[in-house]
Structure 1
Amino acid sequence: MEWMISANNKMYDHISAFDEFSCIDWRQKANYQVGDIVYIYATKPSQRVMFKTEVEKVNIGSNEIIDDKKYWINIDEYEKSLEGKYVRLKLLDRVDSEALTLERLKEHGLKGAPQGPIKIREAQLSQYIADNFNDYYSEGVFNDIEENDIYEGHIRTITVNKYERSSIARKKCVEKYGYNCTVCEMNFKDVYGDLGKNFIHVHHIVPLQLIGREYKVNYEQDLTPVCPNCHAMLHKKKDGNYLSIAELKRLLTRNTIT
């Protein structure tokens, strides 16, 4: 069974809680079963589905729940929440995409913003949400690529490593560093006008294949914005090794001057 529930980020910091615990204990207001998929709709100002979770445990007592008090913005609501049973929701994926806004979801079968838990019964809505949780092309901020891309004629299949492909991490990266390429300093808006506005790739400084599954990506230290050309060169080996940002900068400068 698939569900949708709503989350108020003025009441509780869901992103930080998921970052620390990888799950949240939620007031159990529906007949959830272990293995159910629960999508979390973030209310204003986001007004979009942002989290995909799986029910890991049901009927949890308040004495067994995760101690997440520090993430409650409204302490009165935290105190009120310590009643009844809870369900443990394990984070599977998260995105920040215009495709999953309330208006777009209503175009694909959602009746309105969820006020309480609702079952997703419409096949069209279920498929649309599932399709858009693969957010590789979300918001014009492309994720990293792996070197085993497959080309067959004009068809390109891109294998995306899911250690950290969250559009939230990518969005934080460009909010921190901007849309200029770290290597060549190109900005797509300067070159292409509005067409290139807010477009950039995001590169994993440590190659994805070298990152263990338990590694938590730090968007400030591990991610950097780069243009597609420089991104491709960062994924091309020279003498058996990948170039660092600094090394590629030096190579670019040397060849530009000569």
Structure 2
Amino acid sequence: MNWIITSNSNIFKTYEAFKKLGYVDWRQKVKLKIGDIVYIYCTRPLKKVIFKTIVDKINMKFEDTVDDREFWVDKEKYIKFKKEQYCRLRLLQNVDTEKLQLNMLIQNGLKSAPQCAIRINEKLSRYIDESFKECYENFEKKVKIRSCEREVISIPASGTIDLIYKYRIHAHPNINKNYPYKKALYYTFREKNGWMKKLFSLKKIINLNPHNINEINDINLDCETKKRLCGYINDRSNSFKFSHDGEYKFYILGENLDLPKAVSLPKQNNHAYFTIKEMYSGKDVVERSNKEIIMDEECSNMQDNNFSEGKMISIRVNKYERSLKARKKCLEHYGYRCYVCEFDFEKFYGSIGKEIIEVHHKKALHQIKENYVVNPINDLIPVCSNCHTIIHSRIPIFEIEELKSIIKLKNIKNYRKYKIIQQVD
């Protein structure tokens, strides 16, 4: 069953609560059931549905709820509502789209602006759900591309290739230094003589000890995936074996794309990276040097306080080297929160947002056009993709403090508007 409830930002900071906790304990005014979907309509000035939640608990007493008084603007109501029953609403998705504004909701079945919890009809429920899906599909495409460092990673797997094709699973010992894979949009696996025939999307990565198969029951996987995983482990244990005694990293692969023509990368025993265009080039053999790996090793041999980058190198286009070690030092110092707007991907999106952030060069490399020693603390700064886009939307680019001042001024103006509206109401 699907519902709409209302949220007033002058009483409770719903956004901040979801951002920190991932759920809210809400006054239960209607007969909800566990598993019901509840959409939260934010009143003035937004007047739109923003949050999609699911009911995890019902009929809770106040003493069983989370201490969320920090999010209550009206402290008197926090005390007043202690005698009420509560339900727990876990955040599934949040969007900000014109499609979920009040006028659009009314056009699709809502009678009027919701004043309390109401059960919604099938037409409106379908419209809201499709609007959420559309927004998230567009968002996931952008995040997926931005969060991946390479288009295609090619992994040697001649010994287990039949198992990979059969179960769509790949595994290696969970030792990062031996398997320094970068995030990629697609995975391909090399057969004997380096032949690559398929591209796989990646659904999930899990850590598991294959010598203790019962651990699978503790992992949040659907039945079909668990069946594939058990089959892979059993078949590999009887053939290629799991030589490492400890934990393995398992790559749960999605559907595969058959390449129109097999491509070969002979005489290379480690992983390599390609573009999608190269995989569809129609060539029998592609060459790939270890340039990137050597560059990383050179960086690791540098002194901790010297990070050289910006030198122009020739691949197929002119590309400016960026030191991964400098990026790491920058993030160790500042963390993964946007320095401009303070947005934190992991806190907002959960585990899928972990360690997602962009690093902005205060000195643009294309303007320097020469090799220089970068200071990770003074020259680099972590920013979210939105702020990064705005920074580069102007020539000359926005300075960090300049953009922070603009956001601060905007928030002050909005606060004054809300106060005026509150007084009018």
Same-fold call, TM cutoff 0.5 = yes
Higher RCO (CA 8 Å, separation ≥ 6 residues) = 1
Gaps of 5+ in 1: 150-158, 162-205, 231-258
1:224 equivalent to 2:385? Answer yes
Aligned to 1:177: none
Deviations 1:60-106 (A, max 9, x none): 10111110001101111111121121000000000111110000100
Q: How many residues align?
A: 170
Aligned to 2:354: 215
Query: 1:139-150, aligned counterparts within 5 Å?
Result: 143-146=142-145, 147=151, 148=185
Taking a change above 3 Å as real, the CA distance of residues 120 and 54 of structure 1, as seen in their structure-2 partners, is: same
What one-letter code is carried by the residue in structure 2 that aligns with 1:215?
K
The two structures, once aligned, show a CA RMSD in angstroms of 3.4
Say whether the 8 Å CA contact 2:357–2:385 is kept in structure 1: no
Aligned to 1:96: 96
What one-letter code is carried by the residue in structure 1 that aligns with 2:24?
I
Query: 1:45-56, aligned counterparts within 5 Å?
Result: 45-56=45-56
**Fraction of identical pairs, as percent:** 35
Aligned to 2:34: 34
What one-letter code is carried by the residue in structure 2 that aligns with 1:37?
I
Deviations 1:138-167 (A, max 9, x none): 8x9x84343548xxxxxxxxx9x9xxxxxx
Say whether the 8 Å CA contact 1:136–1:143 is kept in structure 2: no
Taking a change above 3 Å as real, the CA distance of residues 95 and 214 of structure 1, as seen in their structure-2 partners, is: closer
Bigger drift between 52-61 and 213-222 goes to: 213-222
Give, in whole Å, the separation in 1 of the partners of 2:22 and 2:131: 21
Aligned to 1:16: 16
Aligned to 2:365: none
SS of 2:32's equivalent? coil
Say whether the 8 Å CA contact 1:38–1:54 is kept in structure 2: yes
SS of 1:113's equivalent? coil
SS of 2:59's equivalent? strand
1:84 equivalent to 2:245? Answer no
Give, in whole Å, the separation in 1 of the partners of 2:355 and 2:34: 26
Deviation at 1:213, TM superposition (A): 3.7
SS of 1:50's equivalent? strand
SS of 1:35's equivalent? coil
Give the number of the structure whose alpha-carbon radius of gyration is greater. Answer: 2
Give, in whole Å, the separation in 1 of the partners of 2:97 and 2:355: 22
Taking a change above 3 Å as real, the CA distance of residues 217 and 103 of structure 1, as seen in their structure-2 partners, is: farther
Deviation at 1:215, TM superposition (A): 2.8
Give, in whole Å, the separation in 1 of the partners of 2:91 and 2:72: 18
Query: 1:226-245, aligned counterparts within 5 Å?
Result: none
Aligned to 1:130: 129
Deviation at 1:136, TM superposition (A): 4.5
